[in-house]
Amino acid sequence: MQRVAVVTGGTRGIGFSITKTLAAEGYKVAALYHGNDEAAQKCAAETGAMVVKADVGDYAACEKACKEIAAALGPVSILVNNAGITKDGVLHKMPVENWHNVVETNLTSSFNMSHAVINGMREQNFGRIINISSINGQKGQFGQTNYSAAKAGLIGFTKALALESAAKGITVNAICPGYIATDMTAAMRPEVLDSIIKQIPVARMGKPEEIADLVAFLASEKAAFITGATMTINGGQYLT
Ligand code: CAA
């Protein structure tokens, strides 16, 4: 049976790699995206995924998108909450909207999406929810009070929902990537990024596919006993 997977922020960066990997493994994949239509069309052409434009910070938009996906592909069995943005800056200079934008897109989004699919998973007695947190939710990061708080929040969300869902065959896990070569890290000041790469024992940035392979494993039947876990994948930069 071909299971249906939804990947938020699934047309670019780590999310694109997740979409591509899950499609290659035989899942029917829907990738949510917010702004970049060109990247979405490219992703659809390359992976065969359904692409759906929606703001994951908007509860009603998530509900509508998930209904469209279920109608087109069937009930959702796998949800990857990957969509995320940065609006870095020190707290004493941070405009309040940069707090709200980041928390809504990186944390509230996981509530919105999980709420839209969880009853369908409970009916199937099967589900996989995989939340993409971050090394910076584990250790904190100068200039990222908003992002670190949202990503740390995602770890607590994961643990609580894992407890609520275990009896229904649904696993809920968090992955904490370190610094991965994507547009997000490419947008950092080069000297700041260089100083961070020097802190990585493996001496390089991670590749999006390295995160996608872990997602694919957690989505599989083989990972049925892993739930409520926080998986660290950061080249040794921060050891938990
Ligand atoms: N620890 C302590 N002090 C620091 C510091 C650090 N890590 N980084 C900078 N400072 C100090 C500076 O030395 C400077 O001190 P002085 O004023 O005494 O010279 C002061 O803080 C201001 O630093 P900046 O000049 O860098 O300040 P800025 O306002 O121009 O920039 C910033 C602030 C945008 C947050 C910048 O520091 C920055 O880009 N930091 C990196 C944030 C980061 O890692 N983002 C990750 C994005 S990728 C991602 O998030 C994906 C993921 O999950 C990993």
Distance (angstroms) between ligand 1 centre and the Cα of 100 equals 20
**pLDDT value at residue 223:** 98
- Helix intervals (H) in 52-144: 59-73, 96-103, 109-124, 135-139
Q: Output the residue whose Cα is nearest ligand 1's atom 11.
A: 142
Chain mean position to CA 224: 19
**pLDDT value at residue 156:** 99
Distance (angstroms) between ligand 1 centre and the Cα of 80 equals 29
Distance CA 127, CA 148 (A): 27
SS3 69: helix
**pLDDT value at residue 128:** 99
90 lines ligand 1 (CB under 6 A): yes
Q: Which candidate in 27, 33, 147, 179 is catalytic?
A: 147
**pLDDT value at residue 1:** 79
**pLDDT value at residue 147:** 98
Burial of 218 (0-12, 13-18, 19+ CB in 10 A): buried
Chain mean position to CA 171: 15
Distance (angstroms) between ligand 1 centre and the Cα of 142 equals 5
Distance CA 168, CA 161 (A): 11
Other beta carbons less than 10 A from residue 175's beta carbon: 23
DSSP labels, 79-95: EEE---------GGG--
**pLDDT value at residue 83:** 98
- Asked if the 4-233 domain carries CATH number 3.40.50.720, the reply is yes
**59 labelled catalytic:** no
Burial of 119 (0-12, 13-18, 19+ CB in 10 A): exposed
* Per-residue confidence in pLDDT tens, the chain, 240 aa: 799 999 999 999 999 999 999 999 999 999 999 999 999 999 999 999 999 999 999 999 999 999 999 999 999 999 999 999 999 999 999 999 999 999 999 999 999 999 999 999 999 999 999 999 999 999 999 999 999 999 999 999 999 999 999 999 999 999 999 999 999 999 999 999 999 999 999 999 999 999 999 999 999 999 999 999 999 999 999 999
Burial of 212 (0-12, 13-18, 19+ CB in 10 A): buried
